[in-house]
Chain A
Amino acid sequence: MNRILAASLLGLSLATSSLAHAEPVKIGVITTLSGGGAGLGIDMRDAFTLAIKQSGNKDVELVIEDDAQKPELAVQIAEKMIQGDKVDLMTGIIWSNLAMAVVPNTVAQDVIYLSPNAGPSALAGANCNPNYFNVAYQNDNFHEAMGQYANKDYKNAFILAPNYPAGKDALTGFKRYYKGALAGEIYTQVGQTDYAAEIAQIRASGADSVYFFLPGGMGIAFMKQYAQSGVNIPVTGPGFSFSQDVLPAIGDAALGVKNSATWSKDLDNEANKKFVEAFKAEYKRLPSIYAAQSWDTANLILAALSKASVKDKDAFRAALKAADFQSVRGKFTFNTNNHPIQNIYVREVVKEDDGVLTNMIIATAFEDHKDAYADKCSM
């Protein structure tokens, strides 16, 4: 009798202890899965789910919703996830204007948000928050790197970006490190698809280089039209304009263009090799930078989960901040404002033997780069 009791007690204690380990975790993923910007969100989602699947962790439950790139819809989904689904963590948003609509309200309700892409300057400085972790970059970073790199070859740059917060962050970032003169500065309309008027001004400006930030379809349109215009001034841009999701649509017009990014397919580390192979095997296409950042976000969460319970917010935040995971970007740590300290590289668009366009690292613009707003954050 005693023996049976002891055995059942043992069994019970084993069961409860394994229950304590197998604590279910609910992650809300809001991302763009329809409309013109869907390519970015789909890469984000695919890499995230693949990382969770590969880890073998069965306790993570994902709630994935499509924001259709609409801020008002993203806000509704976030409320539903927090109030209805009772998610423990949130992530997924691609666009800065959506992040600005969702993040402040989410972190104020003590839900931890991890950004796999957007990094608006407003959330990096005075409005930083212990519940907000940016696993990607601060918006200015890529542009700062290209401004720095431009000093090497160029003295008279023509710069253009769309007229919205991330566009302004972009040109501000470029000008922060670029020391030469500006042949011209243009803000284009968001969603603009015809750049004939701007290209004519570039032709007439006498610039020695062009720097442009036009994410998604805007950049495809610009590059195709630029290549056909007869203007031969060299073009540079941030990695978003020459990411794996848009390169096939730009075609050979992108060949040889230099662009900046924190990640590239050929970055030499174990985690990256494993990531690129796994992604290619699962989805039969090459990953983009959005996929890489999302993969890192998932692995950061998994690493923190193995150290602390998600219900114990303080311990979990500390576990996230330690960033004790194998990043596909190599060295990765968090600054005081929960934004990354990381290397930023200069890449060049090349064609592989099988005819696929992709990027190759040619230089390092910054080592262990921090964003310019961390000082204003009081954390």
Chain B
Amino acid sequence: MFTALLIEQLLNGLQLGVMLFLMAAGLTLIFGVMGLINLAHGSLYMIGAFACATVAAATGSFWIGLIASLTAAAGVGAIIEVAVIRRLYSRDHLDQVLATFALILILSEGSRWLFGSFPLYLDIPPLLQGAVPLPGGGQYQLYRLAIIGVGIAVAVGLYLLISRTRLGMRIRAGESDREMIAALGVDIGTLYTVVFALGAALAGLAGALVGALQSVQVGMGEPVLILAFVVIVIGGIGSIKGALVGAVIVGVVDTMGRFLLPSLLSLTMPASQATTIGAALASMLIYVVMALILAFRPSGLFAAQS
């Protein structure tokens, strides 16, 4: 029974990691290419979830909702890049943080104005309902397995995009030397809009996928945003590979900490005390891991060349 529980928890950690990767990939890409700290990334996640819930409720199909979430998040991403973000590239990080924080407030209250304050309903598509048996006698939710699959597919897709395509080549060139690729005649403005929209679409996809598991409501993006920042700091800012490894580390450490710490502590102290202290320690664990990693590798595991 314990093996089954362990396998289930490892899968849970992996699933959380994969979801964080979808968020962190966009964040780190935008930082790597444009040097921009985008706090409003969590709002794009929320927009993806809202678009999916609304369209799924109207059409009755989760899959159309999923397409809508990608379109809406990429569209809103492109609009705010052209309208606001573009003016921030040459400014310092404090200005960027202030402006993108303002965007969080505007997008949150805008969504409340459009969709109301009550959480929306979004259900898992019928195809992915239910649980599948695991080796060792356990069961695992099919939808979570599907999220892991989507995450792996996105990771492979991003790898191919960046290493094998012309757009990827430009993105890599933009990371290493912005002025030079502009001088070579690449339309850097369009490139930036495309990268920003791509990152936004990934956040929107994450929001839609997770929206079916959680509640779709205003402010759902901010807790995930904090974890995504932890992920890119651990992985090395600007590195997609780092984002993937960092996301899986954070996902597994967080899940295993919540699961194992209280039971380990209960070996040495009364059960109710162990649950309280265990819960407190588990919520700190990923930050402890982040501090340890930064102590040995100050610029993260896979630091991009600066």
Contacts and interface: CB of A to CB of B under 8 A. Distances in A.
Interface of A: 33-36, 38-39, 42, 163, 185-189, 191, 193-194, 196-198, 200-201, 203-204, 217, 220-221, 224-225, 228-230, 245-246, 248-251
Contacts of A204: 1-2, 4-5
B279 interface: yes
Contact of B109 (A34, A36, A42, A228): A34
A251 B121 contact: yes
A36 B216 CA distance: 10
A105 to B, nearest CB: 27
Contact of A228 (B9, B108, B124, B217): B124
B259 A197 contact: yes
Contacts of B130: 228, 230
Interface residues of B, number: 51
Interface stretch (B59-67, B87-95, B137-145): B137-145
A248 B123 CA distance: 11
Contact of A217 (B8, B217, B280): B217
Given A197-B9, A228-B131, 14 more contacts: A34-B112, A34-B117, A38-B117, A39-B117, A189-B282, A200-B8, A217-B119, A224-B212, A224-B213, A228-B143, A229-B141, A246-B215, A249-B217, A250-B121
Interface of B: 1-2, 4-5, 8-9, 12, 15-16, 108-109, 112, 117-121, 123-124, 129-131, 138-141, 143-144, 210, 212-220, 223, 255, 258-259, 262, 271-272, 275-276, 279-280, 282-283
A123 B280 CA distance: 25
B241 to A, nearest CB: 24
Nearest to A172: B272
A185 B141 contact: no
B243 to A, nearest CB: 19
A357 B148 CA distance: 32
Given A186-B262, A217-B119, A217-B217, A191 B223 contact: yes
Contacts of B220: 36, 193, 217
A357 B272 CA distance: 36
Given A228-B129, A249-B215, A185 B259 contact: no
B255 A197 contact: yes
B218 A38 contact: yes
A232 to B, nearest CB: 10
Contacts of B138: 203
A225 B112 CA distance: 25
B151 to A, nearest CB: 14
Considering residues B109, B143, B219, which has the most beta carbons from chain A within 10 angstroms of its beta carbon? B219
A30 B195 CA distance: 43
A226 to B, nearest CB: 10
B217 A36 contact: yes
21 contacts: A34-B112, A36-B217, A38-B218, A163-B280, A185-B272, A186-B262, A186-B279, A194-B12, A194-B214, A196-B255, A198-B258, A200-B5, A203-B8, A217-B119, A217-B214, A228-B130, A230-B140, A230-B141, A248-B121, A249-B120, A249-B121
Contact of B275 (A185, A197, A246): A185
Contacts of A34: 108-109, 112, 117, 218
